Amino acid sequence: MAEELKQEEKKVDAKKIFGTIFKVVLGLVFLVLGVWAVIRWFDSLKIVFTGCIGLFLILAGIITLAIAKE
């Protein structure tokens, strides 16, 4: 009975390890693709960022007024 429990624990541990390794590899792939996308479309990123500055300031102003109202 004790041996069966140990074997089941080993199977569970192997699944956990495989799942963790898979998640780490997938995360690294996403990081590389993200860096590549930023480098590849940096000019477009600058345009989007510049266009969002105004909306960000409006949102910051609304939040500030909401906090000041309390």
State the residue range of the domain holding 9. Answer: 2-69
Encode burial over 50-62: b for 16+ CB neighbours within 10 A, e otherwise. eeeeeeeeeeeee
Indicate the length of the chain as a whole number: 70
pLDDT-derived band at 53 (thresholds 50, 70, 90) equals: very high
* Neighbouring C-beta atoms of residue 46, cutoff 10 Å: 10
1-5, 12-16, 25-29, 66-70, range with the lowest pLDDT: 1-5
Distances (CA, A) of 64 to 50, 53, 56, 68: 22, 16, 12, 6
Q: What's the domain count of the chain?
A: 1
Q: What is the pLDDT of residue 9?
A: 63
